[in-house]
Structure 1
């Protein structure tokens, strides 16, 4: 058999492996609750497989297609990194330029960070500062901070790890990188990204500009998957509001489509292979500094096989379990190892999520292949994660493919009861026999003195304990309080309520996160509120003072 015949046979076998996943993919969507899905795979610079199932809008029964737009959530980080690479290529920024020289307002909790922070530190999550997602992300498609609150909020982040010594995922770091892009380029983040990435690559369905869901022609509607004895149902939720005009755009903003994301993945592979000398391109690739973009800059865990973080990408040396493809690992007993038939080099991947959406993208530069998956639901588990891994196994010809439908079924069952499981943990740790004070002693406004952030505790006669908490003074951010022990209350709602109100219930749930601990001064009156919203900082540093 000639080489061309052997190559054609291998290509045909690859297509058959991918096509055989159609039924599995539809099954995963059904058990986890994803109304629509669009996915694609590339090989040697061309689309080798595309598929779309279900609906972008259940009410109108509009089908999902390759051009359907989905919010990309944290996948925005790789686009931000591409824009930064363009700035460096234009000579407007150096990798070691101190951020303080660009943003003189920078004054973090660590003098070391303030003086030495660079764009590489921001893009690789190694600044050593807190994550504090609760300060900006609210329920009911509401942002709790304005764009101009970014620098003051970043300056107030606590030190939670050694500078450049540990990896800690931070949306704030990428938000700050977006501010750097705007200051250095003299354009808005959305404009610069459009000019240097989207337009150059011909991405027609990708933007960080605000998208009006009421008039958008092909924007997938977001849903939340609910579960009861009758099965999985889907509840429409509001469109996430993050855009170039808001805080966190460079970390989680923008919409794209499977077709555009596949073009983007192919362009990244072409640029990486060109810069590493694997494959020369003429003319040179549109994307620049792909080697810096996709190389590891800090380890995400200690292991025999590499797991590291690039700029907006998790890197995994195969065979291995995969990081960065959603939180499915918390819902199954054991995550599958992706075991290629031969050497395929590192897997470089990142997921993306916002209320109502889960997306994923993965690159295999050594074999010049990629995968993209887009879904429009807070599902019971991350559908895009399962589907992308199934597609990857087909690309690398895994000798014994994993049963992803079985894994998705296991994850869906556990995801449906994640709040109940958390309640059991809280009940087991509760001190019995304690009673609260009179409600009037807790009622009032509590303020974070560093940030000006507000927590109101007010009466709610319709609730069992007669109290509710309201974040930032917004009625849309009100949650019923239940007494836990002594002067500690919980604002934990059912999974159904959280999902319907657009909270991300696919993430790990921390008991401390839902506790509000009231403290009294020497005079016996309640005057402080402790809330451990930042896992890496001591509880006694996370307080609000009663006005």
Structure 2
């Protein structure tokens, strides 16, 4: 089983140029598999290990939720309190107060303001604008006009808002009397034995098992990136390793039962409870995603249906590192996947692993099946006697036709309509009308019809 998982992960890394991945799998109260893949640093060639430190991005939000629920259990605050009780923050979307639970569940009514995206992009010199945000007060000032951008009353609609979680970290600091990162260290990380996990750049500088964060340029070259120490905290600043995160998984799966009892089972269940849909179930019979279940957000965790069970978790990305936490409470199984780069969804690696732990065919899970069905059509195609040539590449949940010559390139998006194994039907727009593009397995391999041309597979992509 684990050899099959290794092959899947290594193939995904190869295809998307991921430098390294670290995973841990737990089942029935113990770690059943953990290992690293690839090089944590390409210059030194040092291998990734279960102890290698990576940025976990927005998985940090679940730690923020735990901290707030701890404070609620101690009677120091309520999730029903307005944010303005603790901060000089007075935005009222559609005239309504934002409560702590609204920020926790991403239901404030304010759409993403992209402050984190801008900070991350600017730090990697990607051309994003510079934002002078170095404190919660700066962030509140940045958000001053966001009320005018509100699209719903608080509680009505899911709109992912990093800014809200950043402010929740300041509430934790105000109520506890400790800096957010110190509170999480003392009340969550240390009690769970997560000794390597940190928010501190100084800690990373002293450690010799740290994954170098990487970006890929347009030629596929790895460029060292950087983390945003101090600027992303409660919304995505934790650095951890697969070994520590396996302890976190076991804590969640045990419903908080550990010697220190850091959170009640009721509070963990409140985090997991579906509060607001983030994506509806695909039920249109003509929707290629049909069979993909709805997903919901709770408090710092999301959930969906996975082989008839409830799958809980959260993803994370800071551009130069990606991560996925996923577990199934009813079965006592979980997975964490960490990577020092982006390009391949760590969620798919975690879902593949969990399917194997359940004894299910991973490709019976719709997102993995769709990925496989799209990848089967990738390649270089030519018309009769090589008169014209085109590349077919997967781009997320679609394909692209890429026509190149010495003067430039043209990209044509192909949106899936029907994916049926050896046949697939896509569409694009041409001249204001829908144009069908049909792929099939021909007598000499894959082929497709585009406009008046028949293209046949002539080789793999490089």
Instruction: Give the Cα–Cα distance (whole angstroms) in 2 for the partners of residues 356 and 97 of structure 1.
Output: 36
| Correspondence 1:139 to 2:110 | no
> Corresponding residue for 2:269?
291
User: CA RMSD for the aligned pairs?
Assistant: 3.0
Paired residues of 1:213 and 1:239 also in contact (CA < 8 A): no
Larger proportion of strand: 2
> Corresponding residue for 1:235?
222
Instruction: Give the Cα–Cα distance (whole angstroms) in 2 for the partners of residues 261 and 413 of structure 1.
Output: 34
The Cα shift of 1:165 comes to 0.8
Among 142, 145, 152, the residue aligned to 1:153: 142
| Correspondence 1:262 to 2:246 | yes
Please list the CA deviations of residues 169-189 of structure 1 after superposition, one character each: whole Å capped at 9, or x if unmatched.
110111111111111111100
Among 299, 304, 313, the residue aligned to 1:316: 304
Instruction: Give the Cα–Cα distance (whole angstroms) in 1 for the partners of residues 60 and 374 of structure 2.
Output: 25
Paired residues of 2:355 and 2:362 also in contact (CA < 8 A): no
> Corresponding residue for 1:356?
320
Instruction: Give the Cα–Cα distance (whole angstroms) in 2 for the partners of residues 356 and 301 of structure 1.
Output: 26
Please list the CA deviations of residues 93-120 of structure 1 after superposition, one character each: whole Å capped at 9, or x if unmatched.
11212221111x112153634xx32211
Q: Structure 2 vs 1, CA of residues 315 and 282 (structure 1 numbering), >3 Å: closer, same or farther?
A: closer
Instruction: Give the Cα–Cα distance (whole angstroms) in 2 for the partners of residues 150 and 110 of structure 1.
Output: 17
The Cα shift of 1:209 comes to 2.5
Instruction: Give the Cα–Cα distance (whole angstroms) in 2 for the partners of residues 300 and 284 of structure 1.
Output: 34
Q: Unaligned regions of 5+ residues in structure 1, if any?
A: 1-16, 273-280, 319-339, 427-547
Q: Unaligned regions of 5+ residues in structure 2, if any?
A: 284-292, 379-391, 404-408, 413-462
| Correspondence 1:301 to 2:279 | yes
> Corresponding residue for 1:29?
13
Report matched runs for 1:419-458 at 5 Å.
Answer: none
Instruction: Give the Cα–Cα distance (whole angstroms) in 1 for the partners of residues 263 and 114 of structure 2.
Output: 31
The Cα shift of 1:419 comes to 13
Q: Structure 2 vs 1, CA of residues 216 and 399 (structure 1 numbering), >3 Å: closer, same or farther?
A: closer
The Cα shift of 1:236 comes to 2.2
The size of the alignment, in residue pairs, is 366
Among 381, 384, 396, the residue aligned to 2:358: 396
> Corresponding residue for 1:108?
91
- In structure 2, the residue corresponding to 1:249 is in which secondary structure? coil
> Corresponding residue for 2:388?
none
Q: Structure 2 vs 1, CA of residues 377 and 183 (structure 1 numbering), >3 Å: closer, same or farther?
A: same
Instruction: Give the Cα–Cα distance (whole angstroms) in 2 for the partners of residues 43 and 219 of structure 1.
Output: 27
Q: Structure 2 vs 1, CA of residues 162 and 301 (structure 1 numbering), >3 Å: closer, same or farther?
A: farther
- In structure 2, the residue corresponding to 1:250 is in which secondary structure? coil
Q: Structure 2 vs 1, CA of residues 121 and 362 (structure 1 numbering), >3 Å: closer, same or farther?
A: same
Instruction: Give the Cα–Cα distance (whole angstroms) in 1 for the partners of residues 92 and 243 of structure 2.
Output: 43
Instruction: Give the Cα–Cα distance (whole angstroms) in 2 for the partners of residues 189 and 90 of structure 1.
Output: 17
> Corresponding residue for 2:73?
89
> Corresponding residue for 1:202?
193
TM-score normalized by the length of structure 1 = 0.61
Paired residues of 1:34 and 1:225 also in contact (CA < 8 A): no
Instruction: Give the Cα–Cα distance (whole angstroms) in 2 for the partners of residues 296 and 226 of structure 1.
Output: 38
> Corresponding residue for 1:505?
none
Instruction: Give the Cα–Cα distance (whole angstroms) in 2 for the partners of residues 70 and 407 of structure 1.
Output: 31
Instruction: Give the Cα–Cα distance (whole angstroms) in 1 for the partners of residues 274 and 28 of structure 2.
Output: 23
Please list the CA deviations of residues 366-410 of structure 1 after superposition, one character each: whole Å capped at 9, or x if unmatched.
00111000111133x32x122112112112222463567846957
Please list the CA deviations of residues 246-300 of structure 1 after superposition, one character each: whole Å capped at 9, or x if unmatched.
2x3111112000111111011011126xxxxxxxx57574333211122122122
Q: Structure 2 vs 1, CA of residues 155 and 227 (structure 1 numbering), >3 Å: closer, same or farther?
A: closer
TM-score normalized by the length of structure 2 = 0.72
Instruction: Give the Cα–Cα distance (whole angstroms) in 2 for the partners of residues 167 and 141 of structure 1.
Output: 29
Q: Structure 2 vs 1, CA of residues 212 and 259 (structure 1 numbering), >3 Å: closer, same or farther?
A: closer
